[in-house]
Chains A and B, each alone.
Chain A
Amino acid sequence: NAGVMQNPRHLVRRRGQEARLRCSPMKGHSHVYWYRQLPEEGLKFMVYLQKENIIDESGMPKERFSAEFPKEGPSILRIQQVVRGDSAAYFCASSPQSGLSGNTIYFGEGSWLTVV
């Protein structure tokens, strides 16, 4: 997990508020992925980004969720108008290249969102 930095580690939001989760990839990695882990479930792919581009957002809920990876700064996962069902651990991962042939994806420590 060394190198992929996520913050905040823990976040509490009231229903209807916004949650912003940040991720800085490992040094030299330009590919970022977000996964969500619901209680008692495995990690589920949400979105894949490169600098200034969303490559695949097929796992993102259609509403309230958005992600970006600007030219400068960390990747941001934004959840608007949070509901209790959004309570989960959100993991960011990064890799130096796209795809798994010859490289692997490394995960950060996660951001635990609790909606009250």
Chain B
Amino acid sequence: QKEVEQDPGPLSVPEGAIVSLNCTYSNSAFQYFMWYRQYSRKGPELLMYTYSSGNKEDGRFTAQVDKSSKYISLFIRDSQPSDSATYLCAMSDHDYKLSFGAGTTVTVRA
């Protein structure tokens, strides 16, 4: 079993729809949770950073962490074609070593 599981998709939604992404994990020591966006042949770009459980909102993006279920989510409201990318979840315990999901490829259709 992988330490971090993420549905690879692909996920295709119409413009304006809500995009829902999620990851599950097995290591209960994880307490730092991140979502990155990666365009084709580019580096990961940090979108959201959350410590421990709870919700965090930033513009059209909402990140949720449920440590009791070992489950994290990212929601993108009012999706735009420019949101088409691969979304990576990442997590860590107290140190520097990030564990990544394999990424979900999202296409927002105009």
> Interface residues of A, CB < 8 Å — how many?
29
Known pairs A40-B102, A42-B101, A43-B88; A105 contacts B43 (CB<8 A): no
Q: Which of A4, A45, A56, A98 is the one whose CB lies under 8 Å from B98?
A: A45
* A residues less than 8 Å from B95 (CB atoms): 98-100
Pairwise interchain contact B42-A109, C-beta atoms closer than 8 A: yes
- Asked whether A107 is an interface residue with its Cβ less than 8 Å from the other chain, the reply is yes
* A residues less than 8 Å from B90 (CB atoms): 43
- Asked whether B45 is an interface residue with its Cβ less than 8 Å from the other chain, the reply is yes
Pairwise interchain contact A45-B103, C-beta atoms closer than 8 A: no
Taking the closest CB of chain A, its distance from the CB of B44, in whole angstroms, is 5
* A residues less than 8 Å from B60 (CB atoms): none
Q: Which of B36, B43, B100 is the one whose CB lies under 8 Å from A110?
A: B43
- Asked whether A65 is an interface residue with its Cβ less than 8 Å from the other chain, the reply is no
Binary interface encoding of chain B residues 16-48 relative to chain A, with 1 for a CB under 8 A from any of its CBs, else 0:
000000000000000010101000011111100
Pairwise interchain contact B98-A43, C-beta atoms closer than 8 A: yes
Pairwise interchain contact B94-A105, C-beta atoms closer than 8 A: no
| B residues in contact (CB < 8 Å) with A | 4, 6, 8, 32, 34, 36, 41-46, 49, 51, 88, 90, 92, 94-103
23 contacts between A and B (CB under 8 A): A1-B42, A1-B44, A33-B96, A35-B98, A35-B100, A41-B102, A43-B44, A43-B88, A45-B97, A48-B96, A48-B97, A56-B96, A98-B95, A98-B96, A99-B95, A101-B94, A104-B49, A105-B46, A108-B43, A109-B42, A109-B43, A110-B41, A112-B41
